[in-house]
């Protein structure tokens, strides 16, 4: 099997570190690995498969001319600036940030949902937002069977969705709060320990947050249907890992809860946990470190004609970010679309 020269930019971040673990677990076919981070990490090393890798900074971008595939796990602003310069040196880029997701010529790929859009590419792929990925994996089998008219989504999002600094903020604040000391928020506008923040990103003039807009735009792009009406409320919660979503769906055709359960149970990437009598339903602590999108609390919404409710939980750093990114790379290799 052919092996590829791979680079990870943002290798020290929450997504980058998870991605390195997944490249190893899944034995991604690589023959060379280069790791990049910011000036802050200059001189540091990262251990991968028993070997020490020195972190490189991005002074000489010509190093990318010897690379086949680059995973960029950097902030949107950094990706927006860097990715075109890396692309100009030749490698394919799969970018985790929000910089290119809505650009029409950039495939936004969730391999279980829309693998075919990866075929026609111009060398750049976007990985969707973490809250979007788990949502579309759960929606796809229902969409194919019955069509979707409208979605009402409420999210309960873990701090790791904000990155490594936010994980540290929750950890430190939890200790401070239990010790009765005043909390000093830095990453978020208010303390996150023992609190909920109904703000993810920045608000527009209508009062929607950027996360709420991304969820709607990306869901329509990935399902390939601009007509779906979507409204969302996204909330940051004091959970380290795994996003949870309460999803209300109005389908075009009637689906019973039992039909929905069967469709979901057969779909790739989904694990149905739905035995309410035994208090069995998806939980963020149980989803942590797992690859699947977990779906439970599947029931009809009797307030409308064709309504369904779902509770969807998945590890935002795995399926919501690093795993999906690696799966896009694997898809390109398997189908010969590199
Ligand atoms: N976390 C999630 O669940 C999730 C899900 C989907 C998508 N995403 C997206 O994935 C991206 C990374 O998120 P994250 O949570 O991993 O963030 P993070 O923990 O803050 O990590 C950011 C990474 O970018 C590096 N970096 C910053 N400035 C750089 C520069 N000028 N040049 C090179 N590297 C630079 C950092 O290196 P240093 O350590 O040296 O500063 C670090 O490795 C973001 O765009 C995010 O929106 C995240």
Residue 315 Cβ < 6 Å to ligand 1: no
In the predicted model, what is the mean pLDDT of residues 6-27?
Answer: 98
Domain with CATH 3.40.50.720 in the chain: 4-128+321-334
40 close to ligand 1 (CB < 6 Angstrom): yes
- Give the pLDDT confidence score for residue 6 in this predicted structure: 98
CA of 298 to the centre of ligand 1 (A): 35
Ligand 1 close to Cβ of residue 284 (< 6 A) = no
Cα–Cα distances (Å) from 75 to 15, 23, 29, 160, in that order, read 11, 21, 26, 14
Q: Is 121 a catalytic residue?
A: no
Selecting from 3.90.1150.10, 3.30.710.10, 3.40.1160.10, 3.30.360.10, what CATH number does the domain 132-316 have? 3.30.360.10
Place of tokens 């998806």: 282
Q: What is the pLDDT averaged over residues 45-51?
A: 97
* pLDDT at 1 (0 to 100): 86
Atom of ligand 1 nearest to the CA of 75: 45
Q: How many Cα atoms sit within 13 Å of 73 on the Cβ side?
A: 32
Q: What share of the chain is helix, strand, coil (3-state, %, to 5)?
A: 35, 25, 40
Top mutation candidate among 7, 10, 314 for ligand 1, by most atoms within 8 Å of CB: 10
pLDDT digits (tens, 9 = 90+) for 311-333: 999 999 999 999 999 999 999 99
Q: Please list the residue range(s) of the chain that carry CATH number 3.30.360.10.
A: 132-316
* Class of the CATH-defined domain 4-128+321-334: alpha beta
Is 271 close to ligand 1, i.e. is its CB under 6 Å away?
Answer: no
64 pLDDT higher than 90:
yes
Q: Could you read off the pLDDT of 191-207 as tens digits, one per residue? A: 999 999 999 999 999 99
Residue 113 makes CB contacts below 8 A (sequence gap 6+) with 136, 137, 140, 222, 223
Q: Does the CB atom of residue 17 touch ligand 1 within 6 A?
A: no
DSSP run (H or E) holding 312: strand 307-314
Q: What is the pLDDT of residues 121-167, one digit of tens each?
A: 999 999 999 999 999 999 999 999 999 999 999 999 999 999 999 99
Q: Is the pLDDT of residue 278 over 90?
A: yes
pTM of the predicted model, to two decimals? 0.97
Nearest to 255 by CA among 124, 143, 132, 119: 143
Ligand 1 centroid from CA 17, angstroms: 10
């Amino acid at each position: 099997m052919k092996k590829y020269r791979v680079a990870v930019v943002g290798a020290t971040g929450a997504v980058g570190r998870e991605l390195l673990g997944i490249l190893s677990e899944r034995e991604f076919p690589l023959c060379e690995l280069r790791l990049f981070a910011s000036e802050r990490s200059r001189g540091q090393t990262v251990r991968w498969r028993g070997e020490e890798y020195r972190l490189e900074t991005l002074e000489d971008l010509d190093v990318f001319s010897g690379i086949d595939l680059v995973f960029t796990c950097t902030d949107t602003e950094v990706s927006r600036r860097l990715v075109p310069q890396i692309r100009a040196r030749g490698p394919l880029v799969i970018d985790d940030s929000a910089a290119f997701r809505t650009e029409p010529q950039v495939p936004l790929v969730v391999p279980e949902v829309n693998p075919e859009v990866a075929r026609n590419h111009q060398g750049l792929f976007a990985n969707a937002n973490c809250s979007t990925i788990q949502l579309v994996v759960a929606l796809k089998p229902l969409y194919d069977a019955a069509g979707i008219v409208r979605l009402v989504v409420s999210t309960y999002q873990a701090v790791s969705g904000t990155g490594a600094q936010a994980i540290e903020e929750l950890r430190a604040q939890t200790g401070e709060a239990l010790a009765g000391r005043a909390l000093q928020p830095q990453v978020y506008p208010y303390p996150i320990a023992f609190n909920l923040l109904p703000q993810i990103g920045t608000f527009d003039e209508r009062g929607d947050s950027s996360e709420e807009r991304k969820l709607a735009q990306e869901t329509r792009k990935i399902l390939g249907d601009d007509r779906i009406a979507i409204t969302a409320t996204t909330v940051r919660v004091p959970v380290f890992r795994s996003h949870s979503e309460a999803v209300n769906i109005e389908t075009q055709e009637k689906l019973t809860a039992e039909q929905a359960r069967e469709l979901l149970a057969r779909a790739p990437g989904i694990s149905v946990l739905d035995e309410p009598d035994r208090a069995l339903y998806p939980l963020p602590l149980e989803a942590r470190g797992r690859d699947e999108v977990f779906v439970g609390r599947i029931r009809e919404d009797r307030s409308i004609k064709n309504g369904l409710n779902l509770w969807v939980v998945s590890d935002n750093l795995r399926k919501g970010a690093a795993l999906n990114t690696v799966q896009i790379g694997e898809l390109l290799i398997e189908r010969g679309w590199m």
